[in-house]
Amino acid sequence: MDALSLTFAALADPTRRAILARLALGEATVGELAAPFDLRLPTVSKHLKVLQRAGLVSQSRKAQWRPCQLEAAPLKDIAQWAEAFRASWERQFSQLDTYLDELQREPVARATGRGKRHDK
């Protein structure tokens, strides 16, 4: 699978996004990451493996602990991918503004499609 798909798939789970948010504050062990969730350790371990496959997390070793670290590079990639659509959403938002402006002037006529802008 391509890198972008792996990253998006990894982010399509609230548990995994919460783990990333926690890691943005600094290194944490698997147990520390698991604590906030009502999930067994192996489940969290599996989530971490998904994040590692996407290159979003790396793990080192300190005695019997395996501290995890955020690897933010793929997040930059998806931010850039989404940014390519900026023109689209800005155009749509300005259209929405225009629509709301028209609605302000002639509420019913615009909303129902009956009548015209200047049907004096």
Partner DNA sequence: CGCATACTTAGCCAATCGGCTAATTAGCCA
Partner DNA sequence: TGGCTAATTAGCCGATTGGCTAAGTATGCG
Q: How far is the CB of 27 from DNA (least distance, A)?
A: 11
The alpha carbon of residue 93 and the mean position of all alpha carbons in its chain are separated, in whole angstroms, by: 20
Rounded to a whole number of angstroms, the distance between the first and last alpha carbons of the chain is 61
Nearest residue (CB) to its own copies, 86 versus 105: 86
Site string for DNA, 15-44 (x = CB under 7 A): x-------------xxxx-----xxxxxxx
Q: Helices (DSSP H) in 1-120: which residue ranges?
A: 3-11, 14-24, 30-34, 41-53, 73-83, 86-105, 107-112
Site string for its own copies, 58-97 (x = CB under 8 A): ------------xxxx-xx-xx-xxxxxxxxx--xx----
Q: How far is the CB of 53 from DNA (least distance, A)?
A: 9
The alpha carbon of residue 73 and the mean position of all alpha carbons in its chain are separated, in whole angstroms, by: 14
Nearest residue (CB) to its own copies, 79 versus 107: 79
